[in-house]
Structure formats: structure tokens, C-alpha cells
A and B are shown apart, each in its own frame.
Chain A
Amino acid sequence: MLHSFFISLVFVTLIPILYAISISLSSSNSLVSVDFSFIPKKATLNNYLILFKDYPMLLWFRNSVILAVLTLVLSLSVSIPAAYGFSRMKFLFKKSIFQGLILLNTFPAILSMFALWRLMSNDSINLVNTKFGLIIIYAGTMTIFGIMNMKGYFDSIPIEIEEAARIDGANDFQTIWMILLPLAKPAIIVTGLMVLIYVWNEYIFSITFMTGNDNFTLAVGLYSLQAGETSGSWPIFAAASLVTSIPVLIIFLSVQKHMISGLTVGGVKA
């Protein structure tokens, strides 16, 4: 009983994905056939070959990787020191600044997207349709999350450990680099993965800001590949969707447990 319930639940849940897998492996003209089955009669990788040969899939993939990695580097290099500062140091208005950041984080970025677009398309700034523009947008958006997520973790590391290092003659840099960062590794890794996943999963800023073919990310590419009621190829689109999903799926499933605690502890759902 219980098992048949869960087997059907899993099946119903996975239908959209199973269908995409099946259609991406089928020869492309069978898509309107009535005798549809989840296991294609003649499996072929043809759609994947077409995707990589006739479409700039590799370029899109590369652009997404570049954006994700550079965003990761930029946002961690500003948010780790800031999280440390908020956790360990005393300064004026510390509490109000932190609460201000929490409030800013409730603001859906999409609501100020027009303002940002207008600022960045300004002739003297001109960051629309550049990777740098999108990287600073992503990094800026994720920095608040990074600070909140890692500050909590820094708070849980006993300050005595640092004091002991200082008594042994370590300077600030050594204490942070050799003592604190290794201890905070789990929080840093979770934050880093969240940044990677955020960039990989983001589409509205990239379809709005990346208008030139050379800068298309996977999201923009996939958006342009969509099969409408009359145009586009559903099997190719399904193949592209799966290729896009696989990296995130692997990361996600392999760090499932950390992900969940990282999300609930940080208090932010991506």
C-alpha cells in the first residue's frame, strides 16, 4: 500500500522530466504521435548532436560557467571579510547596518531591474550586454545572502580559538587565514554553492541584459530555443533543458544534506 502510493507519487512527480528525457532521445518527427510512450522505441542521441553542432550550446555553456565562477569569486571575496566584521568587530551602527541589509534582502531584485537597466545603459556607464555588468549585479545580489549566512556560522565559532592563536603570536591575517577560514569551511562551501546555483538558475536579468548573441548564457539560449505552439523544436529544447540541468542536479544531490541545513540556518530560500 505505502509503496504503491510512493511509487505512483514519484512517477507523477517525475513525469515532466521523464517526458523530456524520452522526447530528447526520440527521432524528432514522432512528437505528435498518439501512441506515446516513456521509453522511446528507437533511442538516438541525434538531438544532442544537433544541439552541439548546429546551435551555439558550447558557447552558452562557457558563458554561464564564466559568469558563475567570476560571480563566486567576487561575492565571496567581499562577503567573507564583511561577515567576519559583523560577527567579530565592534563599530558604529553595526546593528542598524545589519538590520538594513536584512530589509534590503526582502526587496525582490526584479522590482528595481528597470532602474538598474536604465543606469547601466547610460552612455557613460554602458554595462548592458557585458559580462562584467551581469557579474556585479549577481555578486551584489548574493553578497547580502553571503554575509547573513556566514555571519551566523562565524558567531558559532568560539572566540577563544582566535585569542589562543593571538597569544601564540599570530597576526590578524594569519589568524583569519589559517585558523578561522578552515573552521568556517562548511559555511563557505554552502554559500559558494548557493552562489553558483543562483547564477546558473537566474534567467530574467540575463534575458533582459544580454542582448548580443556572443554573450548568451544557457538561460538566454534556452529561452530562445523554446518550442512555441507553431515554431521551434521540442526535442532539441528538451535536450538543451537536460544539459542545462545536469550540473546543478549533480551538485545539489551530492550535497543535499548540507544544502538543506545551509538553507534553513541562513534563513533564505533560493
Chain B
Amino acid sequence: MKERNKLLKPIYFITPALILIGLIVLFPIIYTVYISFTNMNIYHWFNFKIIGFANYRRALFILDSGFISAILFTFLWTVVNMVLQMILAFIIANLLNHKLMKFKGLYKTLLIIPWAIPGYVSILLWRTGIFNTQFGLLNQWLVSLGFEGKLWLSSNALAFMSLTVVNLWLALPFMIVIIDGALQSIDKSYYEAADIESATIIDKAFKITIPLIKPVIAPAVIITIFTTFKQFDIIFLLTLQPGAQTGSTLHTIITYAYENAFITSNYGYSSAVSTIIFIILVSTTLVWGRRKRGLAYE
């Protein structure tokens, strides 16, 4: 009796959570995979049929379907944003830790405010307060300086710049905090030794600071790469809101999947795109997990 009790006990503890996750997370994913093999769309809402891999072929092999260019843009977006973010956060965190620095706590608190505001609120404030063609600050300033206002979110090049600025604004606080924490774990005597050897700032950064903080910040960097890769909110809220599209055609893979489901109602196709993205994410997680066992989740 006691043995049986011991075997049953874990069931009471974990089953409620597993049921909830199964219904809300797992089952919709399985259903998405199922829909991806059908021709479900606005005309075939009930009487859809299985069409095999047609949606996958359209996504992967028909170049003007838009998926391939969304993948390329997503990679470009991730690389550009990660590089800028790492460089800027590294410089700012180092300055915060400069020996002449005073009021560090105050500056840090003020600088992480963007992180503390609901993301969608900040993005909408940027859209209206900064980029709006009439009362956005950028155009008000341009006009008062005698220039013509610009459509910041309309052409792809300007939109890419604007989106990147907003992403950096949202993401830098987290990275600054992470690097700042890592910098404080470095033993100061390394720098004293380097000073005796009269090493330059660049030498110290590349030979002491970066190698030493690398393992400390690695998990946070990996998480941020995933977050950047999966970015939806910034692109959707700034340029793709239904009824208020700005004309830029930039899509990350996630906004592309969303658009095909909720705007153009190609449910089967959108589900195929979602499934492909899921496979990409799971395989990178597994590969990464194998190389740096458990790093991101320990």
C-alpha cells in the first residue's frame, strides 16, 4: 500500500500542470501541424481537405511566396541587431564601471526604464510620438530646421533603420545589466597587472575583459539571439497593423506567419510556415543544448 502510494504521489503533483500545458500549448501545436497539411482558408473553413506537402513546397520552393525573403530578412535583422546591441551595451557597461563614475545606481535605474514599460506601449509611443509624419518629434524637428519631413516607416530602408532603433531601445537595458554584472565579477588585479605592462585600453578589452565575461554572459546572449530572431511586436505594431500598414514590406518569419493566418486567411499555408519555424527553433535549441549542455536553462 505504501509502495503504491509512493508511485502515485508524483501524479497528483505534476498532472494538473501537464493537463493545462497539454491543452493550451501542446495540442494547438499538433493541430497547427495538422492544418499545415490541409487547404484550409476562408473558402474552405469547414470543407477543407488534406493536400499533402503542397503548402510546404509553396513556402520553400516558390521564391516569390515571400517566405524565403522573410527568412533572409530575419537573419539580417538578427545579425545587425545583435552586433549593434553587443557593441553598444559593452561600451555603456564599461563606462558605467569606470573608476571615476559617480551616481552609477541612479544612471542605471534611469537607463533600464525602457525595459520596465510594457513593450507594446513603448512601441506605440514610438510610432506616434517619434515616427508619425505630422506630430512625430523627428518630423517636427526636421521641419523646424527647414527640411522636409520623412515617411519614417514607409520605405524598407528607412523602416529597417527605425525598427532597429526601437529594438535597440527595448533590448539594450537587459544587455547592459547583464554585462555590468559580468564586469563586476572580474578581479581588478588583472587590470593592475596590465597597467604595469602599460597595455592599451583596446588590449585590455580584448585580452582581459572580453575573454573573462564571455562565459558569464553567454546564456543571456543566447536568449537574446532567440528573442531577436522571434521578434514580432516591433515590426507588427510599427508597420503592419491591420488597416494602418505603412507600406514597408519587411517581414520576419513570425510576422509573415501571422499575416498569412489573420490578414490573408491562408490558414493551411500559414500553419506550414509555423511548422517550419518550429523545426528551425527546435533543431537550433537541440544543437546548442548538445554543444553547451544545459547552458541556457540551468
Contact = CB atoms under 8 A, between A and B. Distances in A.
A19 B119 CA distance: 17
A10 B14 contact: no
Given A5-B95, A140-B20, A143-B21, A13 B31 contact: no
A82 B244 contact: no
B32 A111 contact: yes
Contacts of A107: 25, 29, 278, 281-282
A256 B29 contact: no
Contact of A15 (B31, B137, B296): B137
Interface residues of A, number: 89
Interface size class of B (residues with CB under 8 A): 35 or more
Contacts of B140: 34, 36
Contacts of A219: 118, 120
A237 B230 contact: no
Interface stretch (B54-62, B71-79, B128-136, B188-196): B128-136
Given A115-B35, A137-B24, A252-B115, A268 B223 contact: yes
Interface string A55-96: 000000000000000000010011101101110011100100
A19 B12 CA distance: 53
Contact of A13 (B113, B126, B262): B113
Contact of B282 (A6, A17, A106): A106
Contact of A267 (B16, B96, B296): B296
A158 interface: no
Given A103-B285, A140-B25, A241-B125, A85 B13 contact: yes
A13 to B, nearest CB: 6
Nearest to A82: B17
Given A81-B17, A245-B118, A264 B297 contact: no
Contacts of A23: 129
B16 A13 contact: no
A119 interface: yes
A141 B25 contact: yes
A116 to B, nearest CB: 4
28 contacts: A2-B101, A6-B95, A10-B107, A13-B114, A16-B122, A17-B117, A34-B144, A81-B12, A89-B9, A102-B285, A104-B21, A110-B257, A111-B257, A111-B277, A115-B271, A119-B31, A140-B21, A208-B262, A222-B120, A226-B128, A228-B244, A238-B128, A245-B117, A249-B116, A256-B112, A260-B177, A269-B174, A269-B223
Closest 6 pairs (CB-CB, A-B): A140-B24, A85-B13, A82-B17, A252-B116, A111-B274, A112-B28
